[in-house]
A = this chain, B = another copy of it.
Amino acid sequence: MNETIRQMMAHRSIRRFTDDPVPDEHILEAVRAGQMASTSSAVQAYSVVRVRDTGKRAALAELAGPQEKVARCGAFFVICGDSRRHRLLCERAGAAYADTFENFLVSVIDASLFAQNLTLAFESLGYGACYIGGMRNDLWRVRQIIDAPAGVYPLFGLCVGKAAESPGPRPRLDPGAVLFEDAYPDDAALLEGVGAYDRVYEAYLRERGARPAGWSEAMVDKLQEKTRADAGLFYTAQGAKLG
């Protein structure tokens, strides 16, 4: 196994951090590496706001759960899809920026490709990281905290810092459950193997001291809840055309 793949396989989200800061030069190195991820026709439709201000960090930690790690980790980032610079360039050129779902989608994909390189780069530099979907609990408040103008779409947060815990990696579905050949499988084939994975997943939770549940049960619990129901409304208010 080569070093890059070994680094990927070693991933586990870190949720407890030491007080050690993350030096600026590491942040710059990780952002540069993040930027080398592919981007649709070089649009680079993303930006990242590092939040240092203690009050802002506390407010973000609160709306995210609360999640103390958002306030306490070495460095915290809000990752955004971003069409702001494109809109300004079009305006300057007397052209109309095309508000299409395609352009919004590209910004989400671009930002996510960037973020995954960024995260892996931080991990390779010896830090732990955790994505924070909880930013989407209150996107209006996030917008206010980071002063995001129209065209900027906060998507998720990222905690980075020295790990103060050492959890094992969370088991994933069997590769055969996500990799198909030539055609998508039928429903019976798609559910094959879920039972075995449920048991592995439950054992993993039990070992971590969490309430044990199979993956299926955890998914049904989570995915029947209409959470963050105004996310689409928010992105529309920021200028995205959805649908």
State whether B183 touches A146 (Cβ < 8 A): yes
Neighbouring B residues of A226 by C-beta, 8 Å: 98, 100
Neighbouring B residues of A93 by C-beta, 8 Å: 216-217, 220
Neighbouring B residues of A89 by C-beta, 8 Å: 191, 194, 216, 219-220, 223
Min CB–CB distance A124 → chain B (angstroms): 4
Neighbouring B residues of A124 by C-beta, 8 Å: 2-5
Q: Does A27 contact B (CB under 8 A)?
A: yes
Chain A 30-72 near chain B by CB (<8 Å), digits 1 or 0: 1111111111111110111111110010000000000000000
Q: Does A211 contact B (CB under 8 A)?
A: no
Q: Does A169 contact B (CB under 8 A)?
A: yes
Instruction: Find residues 166-197 in chain A having any chain B CB closer than 8 Å to their own CB.
Output: 169-170, 172-173, 175, 177-184, 187, 190-191, 194
- Given A191-B88, A228-B100, do A179 and B50 touch, yes or no (CB 8 Å)? yes
Q: Does A164 contact B (CB under 8 A)?
A: no
> Which among B5, B43, B49 is the interface contact of A121 at CB below 8 angstroms?
B5
Q: Does A7 contact B (CB under 8 A)?
A: yes
Of all chain B residues, the one with the shortest Cβ separation from A80 is B184
> Which among B32, B50, B84, B98 is the interface contact of A225 at CB below 8 angstroms?
B98
Neighbouring B residues of A149 by C-beta, 8 Å: 184, 187
Q: Does A133 contact B (CB under 8 A)?
A: yes
> Which among B46, B121, B190, B223 is the interface contact of A103 at CB below 8 angstroms?
B223
Neighbouring B residues of A241 by C-beta, 8 Å: 232
Min CB–CB distance A234 → chain B (angstroms): 9
Neighbouring B residues of A106 by C-beta, 8 Å: 133
Given A85-B190, A85-B191, 18 more contacts at CB 8 Å?
A: A2-B3, A5-B30, A5-B121, A8-B121, A9-B36, A36-B169, A42-B201, A47-B180, A49-B182, A49-B183, A52-B182, A84-B184, A89-B219, A97-B224, A102-B136, A105-B155, A232-B242, A242-B243
11 residue pairs of the A-B complex, CB under 8 angstroms, read A4-B124, A31-B179, A42-B218, A43-B219, A47-B179, A47-B180, A50-B182, A98-B225, A100-B229, A101-B242, A105-B155
